[in-house]
Amino acid sequence: MIATCRNSLGSNTNRVEILQLLLEADGDTAHCDSHGDTVLHWCARNSRVALLRYLLKHTDAAAVALSIQNYKRCTPLDIAKLQLECNRCLSTVTVYELLKDIDQSCNLRLNMLRFKRKEALIRARDAAHVQEQLAVVLETSERLIPKGEKLWRDTLEIAERHRKAEVQQHVDAVVKAAGTAARQWLETKDGKLFVKKQIPLATADTKQAVLSGKLPKPKDIMLAAKQRVQDLYCVEKEQSAKKSAIENFVAERPPYPRDRVAELRHLLHL
């Protein structure tokens, strides 16, 4: 838009059409160049009567035409006055009169334009604030998410160690109780009958172990066979109790899924 008002090439009609297209594409009449000049400053500087008349009639430029300043604190009216003093002609006089005749205090249309521009500025400021806040949130998330994931994994690792320790403690207690119960049962009538039935086979196994060098020759083969039957029975009961205890404990408290942190957080409703 500034280039359209600053460029002297082409007819005024073409430049007005270009300006109209730019405004339809949400062009901003308050946009400044590197010197703080807007399209109004350039219309005043180059005496663009047709462009200035179009801007004042069809845009909200009139709402700020007498107040907007460039970096030298010059308004479009100040520039138009300087151009009039330097070269008094029809175009400079017309531009000066167009700007001078703007009545910002009594013109309802200008008040509406000023109100709309203020609303647009507020929306733009709010949108910029939202974007800034979003950027802060994203930046914070980028810093905290890796730490949060590491904290989750460390927590799960600690919890898994405690769970394994509790499993071992539970299994040890169950195995100890099973061994005690097995030894007590062997002292009962049924237990002694069971041992008596197993002694012949245990005696043969003991003799074979002695012959193969796996066991030293005991002083009493029968006593060794009896002890062998009792030990094997206790070991069998302890192993069975251990397996059952592990299965029951894992069923109630399965291992924590370290590689499924997101799923666990979902299950915990976090």
Q: What does each C-alpha distance from 246 to 18, 80, 161, 234 come to in angstroms?
A: 82, 94, 15, 18
Q: What local confidence, expressed as pLDDT, does residue 259 receive? A: 60
| Residue 112 domain-assigned (yes or no) | no
Same domain assignment for residues 90 and 11: yes
Q: What local confidence, expressed as pLDDT, does residue 86 receive? A: 92
Same domain assignment for residues 185 and 251: yes
| Residue 123 domain-assigned (yes or no) | no
| Residue 261 domain-assigned (yes or no) | yes
Q: What local confidence, expressed as pLDDT, does residue 270 receive? A: 45
| Residue 141 domain-assigned (yes or no) | no
| Residue 229 domain-assigned (yes or no) | yes
Q: What local confidence, expressed as pLDDT, does residue 145 receive? A: 66
Q: What local confidence, expressed as pLDDT, does residue 61 receive? A: 77
Same domain assignment for residues 153 and 95: no
Total domains present in the chain: 2
Same domain assignment for residues 173 and 64: no
Place of tokens 């061994």: 179
Same domain assignment for residues 98 and 204: no
| Residue 245 domain-assigned (yes or no) | yes
Shortest CA distance to 100 belongs to which of 117, 72, 76, 82?
76
Q: Point out the residues of the chain with pLDDT beneath 50.
A: 106, 269-270
How far apart (Å, rounded) are the C-alpha atoms in residues 28 and 229? 99
**pTM to 2 decimal places:** 0.41
Residue span of the structural domain in which 239 resides: 149-268
Tell me if residue 81 falls in helix, strand or coil: helix
Kindly report the CATH number assigned to the domain that includes residue 75.
1.25.40.20
| Residue 126 domain-assigned (yes or no) | no
Q: What does each C-alpha distance from 100 to 66, 107, 112, 125 come to in angstroms?
A: 8, 14, 20, 31
Which two tokens mark 249? Answer: 């404990």
The H or E element spanning position 63 is none
Residue 217 phi/psi, 5-degree rounding, is -70, 120
Same domain assignment for residues 264 and 157: yes
Q: What local confidence, expressed as pLDDT, does residue 186 receive? A: 86
Same domain assignment for residues 255 and 192: yes
Question: CB–CB of 75/68 below 8 Å?
Answer: yes
pLDDT per residue over 7-28, tens digit each? 766 676 677 778 777 777 777 7
Same domain assignment for residues 167 and 61: no
Q: What local confidence, expressed as pLDDT, does residue 232 receive? A: 87
| Residue 119 domain-assigned (yes or no) | no
